[in-house]
Amino acid sequence: MDLTIILVAVLTLIAGIGVFLVACQMMSSNLESASSKRLKQLFSKTGGSKWLGVGIGTLGTAAIQSSGAVTVMVIGFVNVGIMSLSQAATIIYGANIGTTVTAQLVALGMFSSNAISTTLIFAAFAGIGAFIMLFTKSNMWKQIGGIMTGFGMLFVGLGMMSNAMEDFAAMEQVRLFLAKISNPILLVVVGALLTAIIQSSSVMTSVAITMVVTGLITLDQGIYLTMGSNIGSCVVAILAGWTSGTNAKRTALIHLLFNTMGVLLFLLIALGLWGLSSGNWSFGVLFDKFFPHAPQIQLAMFHTIFNTCTMLVAMPLTDKLVNIACKIIPTKETNEKENSPYHLYFLDEQMLRTPVVAVRQLKAEVENMSKLAIENFRRSIYIVKTLDYSDINTFRETEKELNFLNRELVKYAVRLSDSYLNRFDHQYLVSTIRTVSDLERIGDYAENIVEYADSLKQQNLQFSQYALSEIDQMEQLINDLYDQILLAYHKLDLAALGRANQIEDEIDRLTDEMEHNHIQRLALNICSPQVGTEYISLAQNSERIADHLINMGKTIKELKAIND
One digit per residue, the tens of pLDDT, for the chain of length 564 reads 567 777 887 888 888 888 877 876 777 667 666 655 565 566 655 556 778 888 888 887 776 666 766 777 787 777 766 678 888 899 899 988 988 887 887 787 766 554 456 667 778 888 998 888 888 877 778 878 888 888 888 778 877 877 777 676 667 776 677 777 888 999 999 989 888 877 777 778 888 888 888 888 899 999 999 999 889 888 767 776 666 678 778 888 998 999 999 999 999 999 998 888 887 888 989 998 888 888 889 999 999 999 999 999 999 999 899 999 989 988 764 444 445 578 888 887 777 877 877 888 899 999 999 999 999 999 999 999 999 999 999 999 999 999 999 999 999 999 988 877 778 888 999 999 999 999 999 999 999 999 999 988 888 888 888 889 999 999 999 999 999 999 999 999 999 999 999 999 999 999 999 988 878 877 777 766 667 778 889 999 999 999 999 999 999 998 888 876
Q: What is the DSSP string of 236-255?
A: HHHHHHTTS-HHHHHHHHHH
CA nearest to 233, candidates 211, 214, 205: 205
Q: Span 349-563: which CATH code?
A: 1.20.58.220
Indicate the angle between helix axes 67-79 and 50-64, nearest 10 degrees. Answer: 130
Start-end of CATH 1.20.58.220 domains in the chain = 349-563
Indicate the angle between helix axes 139-169 and 3-43, nearest 10 degrees. Answer: 140
DSSP secondary-structure letter at 112?
Answer: B
Q: What is the DSSP string of 295-332?
A: HHHHHHHHHHHHHHHHHHHHGGGHHHHHHHHHHHSPPP
Is residue 209 within 8 A of residue 296, CB to CB? The reply is yes
Q: How many CB atoms sit inside 10 A of residue 360's CB?
A: 18
Reported pTM: 0.68
Residue 114, classed as helix, strand or coil, is coil
